[in-house]
Amino acid sequence: MKRAAVGVLGRFDGYAEVVYEVEGREYRGRLLPLALAAGGAEAVLVAPESLAVLAFGSAEEAAEALERGELGKVFSERVESAFGARARVVVAQALGGYRGAFEASFENHFDNVVAHLFLDFLGALEGCGELVLDVSTGLNVYAAALLEAARAFVVHSKLRRILQGGAGVKAWIAAVPPVLGGGRYSVGLYDFTSKAFFEFPLRSLEFKPVDFVLSPLSGEEKGELGERLRGPVERLKRILAEARVAFNALKYNAPLALYHEEIVNLKAADPAAGLEALRLIVAEVERRRRVAVEGGKLSVRRLRLNRALVVNAALALALLESLREFHSAGVVGAEATPSGLLEVFGKVYGLLGLGLNARFLARDVAELTGGEGFLGDAKRNFFAHSGLLSTMIEVRPGGSVAYRCGAAPLVRKWLYDPEA
């Protein structure tokens, strides 16, 4: 299983070479991630933009590299030159003031640092099954951001396989004693647990383009930003709407809906396209940063991103991945026979801890096959009886069941918002 060792880079020099003792083995290096790379792990270094005061000779050079998106390349070269080793460098947004070859000020928000780092981890740590998180180097604010981003990444990995019983990424915090020079240091690995629950990460899909920004905006700025974000936000919401309906079909025990493309169209809901739209939204907000050099000082100002909305949208897309895989493997191409419903959904309900759903489904399928239907308050009975209302379904020759043609729009409406 691929392991990544992730830490914050605080500077390019001044780290002593030591021997780290980890899980009964010895690793030599000047940073734990680089040392663990000798044992097969991938070294990932989170490099804050503030390192520019150490990597460039002037604020003008740093500003040009920042605007061109070249900080990662420059930092990677400096790491290889300084440490004699290669590592994947993930540039993190900076926060606060710094001094080196010049002064730099980053008027930014912790939410931005975490949200961007999380999205970068989705690419940089793709395929990793284990994470070792070293928080012994770098400023505290970046160590905290690393942990917050890693927590979201671990939850994301679990949601991607939640209907398949996948465990997701396993993570540990590396407890490294203060390094006071050369020598040997025993490093303990402690579980970094982040639980994922079968709940839809977004409470509402009624968000607007400007909801992605928490900073105050003028009316003109809101209008311009709304226009620029309208396309990707609409694409994202369409995809998330299908994810929400599919989720509710399971959560509220109406599995027959998943056999009707006119109710739940998971084929058209591509999580990769949704993530691309989300990245476009975040990039458009980032495009509004202001980079200036005045009196030899670098100043960077950013709008505050809505971290909760960005991260939860990404988590909803991860859940969609699992829903699509489940749908493709167990539903697509199959007829909704009573025995098939019980077999396919009874198993997944057990994995999700929805045992009552399985019991209710078994009862309602038995009554359905006995020729009984359910009358009364239609919406209440729909959810009370596994979505199997006699007025809405038909039993076809061969024993399979389906919703009547005219029932699909109402079923989708109920599943989109069960509490409305």
Domains of the chain and any CATH numbers: 3-191 (3.40.50.10640), 209-416 (no CATH)
**Contact 1/130 with Cβ under 8 angstroms?**
yes
CA atoms within a 13 Å half-sphere pointing along the CA-CB vector of 169: 28
Of 140-154, 329-343, 364-378, the range with the lowest mean pLDDT is: 364-378
Enclosing H/E stretch for 330: helix 307-330
Q: What is the pLDDT of residue 375?
A: 44
Q: Considering the entire predicted model, what is its pTM? A: 0.94
CB 18 within 8 A of CB 30: yes
Residue 289 burial (C-beta neighbours within 10 Å; 0-12, 13-18, 19+):
middle
Averaged pLDDT for residues 358-371: 79
Cα–Cα dist 252/386, whole Å: 8
The pLDDT value recorded for residue 385 is: 87
Sign of CA dihedral 282, 285, 287, 289: negative
Beta strands of 241-373 (E only): which ranges?
290-294, 297-301
pLDDT-derived band at 369, boundaries 50, 70, 90? low
Q: What are phi and psi of 301, to 5 degrees?
A: -125, 140
CA distance 118 to 214: 18
The whole-number average pLDDT for the span 38-46 is: 95
Name every residue whose Cβ is closer than 8 Å to that of residue 20 and which is 6 or more positions away in sequence: 26, 27, 28, 29, 32, 35, 36, 176, 184, 185, 187
Would you place residue 374 in the very low, low, confident or very high pLDDT band (cuts 50, 70, 90)? Answer: very low
Q: Could you tell me how far CA 6 lies from the centroid of its own chain?
A: 17
Tokens 């002593």 found at = 16
Three-state SS sequence of 392-412: CEEECCCCCEEECHHHHHHHH
Residue pair 96/106 in contact by the 8 Å Cβ criterion? yes
The predicted structure's pLDDT at residue 128: 95
Is residue 372 over pLDDT 50? no
Q: What value does the mean pLDDT take over residues 194-220?
A: 96
pLDDT at position 396: 87
pLDDT of amino acid 366? 83
- Work out the end-to-end distance of the chain between its first and last CA atoms, rounded to an integer number of angstroms: 45
Residue 373's pLDDT is 47
Give all strands (DSSP E) within 100-141, no chain letters.
103-107, 130-134
| Cβ count near 165 (within 10 Å) | 11
d(CA 342, CA 323): 18
Span 274-331, pLDDT tens digits? 999 999 999 999 999 999 999 999 999 999 999 999 999 999 999 999 999 999 999 9
- Look at residue 376 in the predicted model and tell me its pLDDT: 46
